[in-house]
């Protein structure tokens, strides 16, 4: 494959790669993905508090044309160094070299570099997050050497990788994922290879995103999500292109439009339900403070919006918005 063709392929897949890379930098999301896919006996032995984002680890530049790499480094509870590499594969074409052998080279070069720097080689857990249009064909290492006897196969390097195949998931399976953050991330990727469904699924997408309101960074996350959906779905972008706000890119316009038309009503509904529950339970003050914290987070990320605009979105008085904005700047 020529360098020019590789560059063109990368450009085609860039929206998906950019979205995956950005979202997987959210540590809570990455840890939820790791817990979801690795076996329980492995996750029980990992010191999750030690896991932090690591540097891109491809020693072989050719692998960059096949995978997006996001890794987290830390240790097992027994002190063994661990590297968990999340490899994002969007292309549905068959790689030039089978994945097992690409990963074998990847792990070998990584461990070799560690040894050269007088470090104990770390254990590497590869997680393949597949996003192609066709279901992933998982071939075991044994399949490449099917003609060998059991004794002969003992001479072959043995390892495996873990696959999250978004293409083969169903909506009901995504609904059942216990982590709201991981479920939202995967559901958006699910729509990314089905752009014709993006407009049909706006309500469900908003339901997924609304579950994230307890996260500090939930506003940034849903703006990333809607920007991604506008990148993969021209219809989504077209639907929300006529905005009174002046943003840098059409993708950001679409994100803001989605916020105004779909998320703001949900915030008002959350406000209403919160007040009703607070009255019933005698906790009106606590509910109001909770709503104010949500509004403060919103205001801090939307400083360009007027008090009147935000008051309309949350169905509150302009005086309240002004007070909260003043408290933020104090």
Contact 184, 209 (CB under 8 A): yes
Contact 227, 25 (CB under 8 A): no
pLDDT tens-digit series, residues 306-317: 888 777 766 678
Residue-level pLDDT at 241: 61
Using a cut of 0.75, tell me whether the model's pTM lies above it: no
Name the pLDDT band for 64 (thresholds 50, 70, 90): low
For residue 272, is pLDDT > 60? Answer: no
Please give the mean pLDDT across all residues of the chain. 77
Residues 6+ apart with CB under 8 A from 125: 34, 38, 42, 82, 83, 84, 85, 162
Residue-level pLDDT at 231: 87
pLDDT tens-digit series, residues 235-250: 888 776 643 333 344 5
Q: How many CB atoms lie within 10 A of CB 186?
A: 22
* Most confident option among 28-37, 126-135, 280-289: 28-37
Q: Rounded to the nearest 10 degrees, what angle do helices 180-192 and 27-37 cross at?
A: 90
Residue-level pLDDT at 217: 75
DSSP bridge pairs for 87: 69, 128
H/E run at residue 210: helix 202-210
Torsion angle, CA of 164/170/172/176, rounded to 10 degrees? 0
Report the pLDDT averaged over residues 59-67.
57
Q: Give, in order, the Cα–Cα distances in Å from 151 to each of 104, 148, 160, 168, 214.
A: 21, 8, 20, 36, 55
For residue 17, is pLDDT > 80? Answer: yes
The dihedral sign for the CA sequence 257, 258, 263, 265: positive
pLDDT tens-digit series, residues 275-287: 455 544 544 454 4
Q: Which long-range contacts (CB under 8 A, 24 or more apart) does 282-286 make?
A: none
Q: What distance, in Å, lies between the first and last C-alpha atoms of the chain?
A: 58
Residues 6+ apart with CB under 8 A from 247: 253, 256
- 48-62, 72-86, 101-115: segment of lowest average pLDDT: 48-62
Report the pLDDT averaged over residues 128-152.
85
Residue-level pLDDT at 36: 95
Residue-level pLDDT at 246: 37
Residue-level pLDDT at 283: 42
Name the pLDDT band for 56 (thresholds 50, 70, 90): low
DSSP bridge pairs for 130: 89, 165
Residue-level pLDDT at 282: 42
pLDDT tens-digit series, residues 164-218: 998 888 999 999 999 989 999 999 999 988 889 988 888 888 778 877 877 777 7
Rounded Cα distance, 67 and 235, in Å? 28
Torsion angle, CA of 259/260/261/264, rounded to 10 degrees? 80
């Amino acid at each position: 494959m020529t360098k020019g063709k590789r560059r063109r392929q990368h450009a085609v897949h860039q929206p998906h790669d950019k979205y995956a890379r950005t979202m997987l930098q959210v540590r809570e999301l990455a840890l939820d993905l790791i817990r979801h896919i690795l076996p329980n006996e492995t996750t029980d032995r990992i010191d999750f508090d030690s896991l932090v984002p690591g540097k891109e680890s491809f020693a072989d530049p050719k692998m960059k044309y096949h995978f997006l790499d996001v890794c987290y480094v830390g240790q097992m509870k027994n002190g063994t160094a661990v590297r968990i590499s999340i490899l994002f594969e969007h292309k549905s074409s068959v790689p030039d070299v089978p994945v097992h052998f690409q990963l074998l080279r990847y792990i070998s070069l990584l461990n070799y570099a560690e040894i050269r720097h007088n470090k104990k080689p770390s254990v590497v857990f590869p997680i393949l997050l597949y996003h192609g249009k066709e279901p992933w064909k998982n071939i075991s290492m044994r399949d490449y050497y099917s003609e060998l006897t059991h004794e002969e196969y003992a001479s072959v390097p043995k390892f495996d990788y873990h696959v999250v195949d978004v293409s083969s998931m169903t909506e009901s399976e995504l609904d059942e994922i216990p982590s709201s953050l991981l479920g939202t991330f995967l559901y958006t990727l699910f729509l990314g290879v089905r752009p014709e469904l993006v407009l049909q699924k706006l309500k469900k997408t908003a339901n997924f995103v609304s579950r994230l309101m307890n996260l500090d960074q939930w506003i940034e996350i849903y703006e990333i999500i809607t920007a991604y959906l506008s990148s993969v779905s021209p219809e989504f972008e077209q639907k929300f292109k006529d905005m009174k706000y002046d943003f840098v890119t059409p993708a950001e316009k679409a994100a803001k439009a989605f916020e105004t038309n779909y998320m703001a009503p949900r915030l008002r509904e959350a406000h209403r339900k919160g007040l009703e529950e607070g009255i019933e339970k005698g906790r009106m003050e606590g509910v109001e403070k909770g709503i104010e914290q949500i509004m403060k987070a919103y205001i801090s990320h939307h400083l360009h919006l007027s008090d009147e605009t935000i008051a309309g979105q949350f169905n509150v008085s302009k005086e309240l918005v002004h007070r909260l904005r003043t408290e933020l700047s104090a």
